[in-house]
Amino acid sequence: MPCRPTKARKLLEQRKAIKKRNKLGIFYLQLEFDPNHPVTQPLAIGIDPGTKFEGFSVVGIEDTVLNLMSKAVDWVKKAVAQRKIMRRVRRYRKNRRRKSKKNRRNNKTFLPPSTKARWDAKLRLVRQLCKILPLQYAVSEDVKATTRKNQRGWNRNFSPLEVGKHYFYAELEKLGLILITMQGHETKQLREAFGLKKSPNKSKVAFETHCVDAWVMAAAITGAKNPSTTGLYYVEPIRFHR
């Protein structure tokens, strides 16, 4: 649970806690004793998904524990297309090779690699936060794909968005979090009620770009009045190459 710097320094001086840092680079203390009466306040994480950048905010009853802004994974689609071209080139070479296998995706729910990578990046962040914070609620802005009548191509291209969203929600519930979704207009009304403004510059690394929406959604559940801090961590996923 969050504590003041003076209390943290006393715990370190008395050797009742040790310094730790998780994979996201977030500093925290690990207690070396069992508290007599452990009390935790409800913590909610707000998630604002986006196409280029995303916002995360962990909010308690009064304090804003953490703000995160991350860059979305947007390179998988081009990488898969390039892999397909290279594979086809290898197939036409005159050398020994195995026979082509049958399509193993028949009668299975297909989640495109680009969609899965995008939602898995969010899940990795939430999983890491669950290891150091007693999160109870997950509040996400619901992304809906509008279908059009008699336009099969349009509807088919938007189906991965819906499939990826439901996959993300199911994985959050597996973590033991109480899932709550909100619509875009509800987020706007909450932002106006708290008196907060959103920056139109989506690429700006600031609280007002994406974290503000994540904060208002989480604060609506825990009852926080205003953000106690607007500082944030900026996270960019590492792209691994084989």
Residue 153: pLDDT above 80? no
* DSSP output for 113-145: HHHHHHHHHHHHHHHHHHHHS-EEEEEEEPP-P
Residue 157: pLDDT above 80? no
E strand or H helix that includes residue 59: strand 53-59
At 23, the amino acid letter reads: K
Helices (H), the chain: 5-13, 76-91, 113-132, 152-174, 184-194, 212-222
Angstrom distance (rounded) from CA 55 to CA 53: 7
Residue 139: pLDDT above 90? yes
Angstrom distance (rounded) from CA 167 to CA 115: 10
pLDDT in tens, 60-76: 998 899 999 999 998 88
Residue 28: pLDDT above 70? yes
Average pLDDT over every residue of 185-208: 91
**76 CB-near residues (< 8 Å, 6+ apart):** 113, 114, 117, 118
Residue 213: pLDDT above 70? yes
pLDDT in tens, 66-107: 999 999 998 888 888 888 888 888 777 777 777 777 777 665
Residue 4 in tokens: 């003041």
pLDDT for residue 154: 66
pLDDT for residue 91: 76
What share of the chain has pLDDT > 90, as a percent?
48
Angstrom distance (rounded) from CA 82 to CA 103: 20
Classified as helix, coil or strand, 7 is helix
Distance, C-alpha 81 to centroid of its chain: 26
Average pLDDT over every residue of 161-176: 89
CA distances from 140 to 133, 177, 184 (A): 18, 12, 10
The pLDDT confidence band at residue 109, using thresholds 50, 70 and 90, is low
Angstrom distance (rounded) from CA 61 to CA 48: 20
Query: Which domains can be identified in the chain, with CATH numbers?
Result: 41-89+110-235 (3.30.420.140)
Q: Are strands 178-182 and 233-235 parallel, antiparallel or unpaired?
A: unpaired
